Amino acid sequence: MFFPAEWHQQAFVQLTWPHKDTDWAPVLADAIDCFCNIAREVAKREPLLIVAQYPEEAKKALLQRGISLDNITFVSCSTNDTWARDHAFITCLDEQQKKALLLDFQFNGWGLKFAANFDNKINKKILPEITSFYNEIPVEYQNHLDFVFEGGSIESDGEGTLIVTSSCLLAENRNNTLSQQDIEERLKQCFQAERVIWIHHSWLAGDDTDGHIDTVARFCSPTSIAYVKCDDPTDEHYEELQAMEQELLALRTLDGKPYTLYPLPLPDACYDEEGERLPSTHANFLIINGAVLVPTYNQLDKDAVALARLKEAFPDREIIPVDCLTLVLQHGSLHCSTMQYPTF
């Protein structure tokens, strides 16, 4: 059994659709535009599962934008929000028995910050649909609901190395009865990992997740990492992100070599209507079959640099920009709103 890297072949991607009863209500039309853009790019390349409280509204929105529903499956389900990365299954593969293992962890609204009563029940509700995507491949449900854990808080190289952040996994109101060693052993057990790398500097202003790794540093291959870099000494992130860069420079692969690093520029500050800085980051990209979907923030220079760097990191994949200025208004971005499901 192993935890595939995100670039592994995928069976489908999950989106959890925004609706009028969520915090998206004031910018719902713009949020739906963004989700439709993501859906369009995913469905061109692989099946898409859309979890929606109002499926007919989701279908209508897609059709109005000329998006075919042929490669999209809808399932009706009550939802609190749209962050599939954190409430969806995390999937491992058992090569010997040729089956997919769906790990169901407890989602508690990033440490009891937000309601998650509906989102935490989505997985069991949609299990039949997920099983159908895998066709002849057996699917095994694994209950890990005694452990609070979110998909955005972990990166896998597909070869036994995991990266996590101490600020998130050791945060209050998640698993505060467990020590760092306890949590590391749990992760090794759940994901059959050889080692867990802990990053101790991962802060972005406006981040509700306590520092998810998928906002700051991402595996691009077993030997390379893309990360957020801040070069402006006057920016509030400067010291923290410089410290993270030093941690990454000190890392070594399992065979003792330094990682190839791809710095992504920290976007210029984005603010909400109340003046709060938002956690915009190009590191929140999604790798899918044949492509990488990259969040952009209407900052032509920095968006262009990020896209070029990710093209270096993924030379064999199409690099697709997706405007995520609306998504970041709710303190998340592209990767946060999606979950991929690997297959053989």
For the chain, domain boundaries? 10-342
pLDDT one digit per residue (tens) for the chain, 344 residues: 999 999 999 999 999 999 999 999 999 999 999 999 999 999 999 999 999 999 999 999 999 999 999 999 999 999 999 999 999 999 999 999 999 999 999 999 999 999 999 999 999 999 999 999 999 999 999 999 999 999 999 999 999 999 999 999 999 999 999 999 999 999 999 999 999 999 999 999 999 999 999 999 999 999 999 999 999 999 999 999 999 999 999 999 999 999 999 999 999 999 999 999 999 999 999 999 999 999 999 999 999 999 999 999 999 999 999 999 999 999 999 999 999 999 99
Residue partners of 75: CB distance under 8 A and separation at least 6: 49, 50, 51, 52, 55, 125, 126, 129
Q: In the prediction, which pLDDT does 2 show?
A: 97
Instruction: Outline where DSSP puts E strands in the chain.
Output: 10-16, 48-52, 72-76, 90-94, 99-106, 139-148, 155-156, 161-165, 195-199, 217-221, 224-229, 260-265, 270-271, 277-278, 286-288, 291-296, 318-323, 338-342
User: Would you say domain 10-342 falls under CATH 3.30.750.24?
Assistant: no
Q: In the prediction, which pLDDT does 309 show?
A: 98
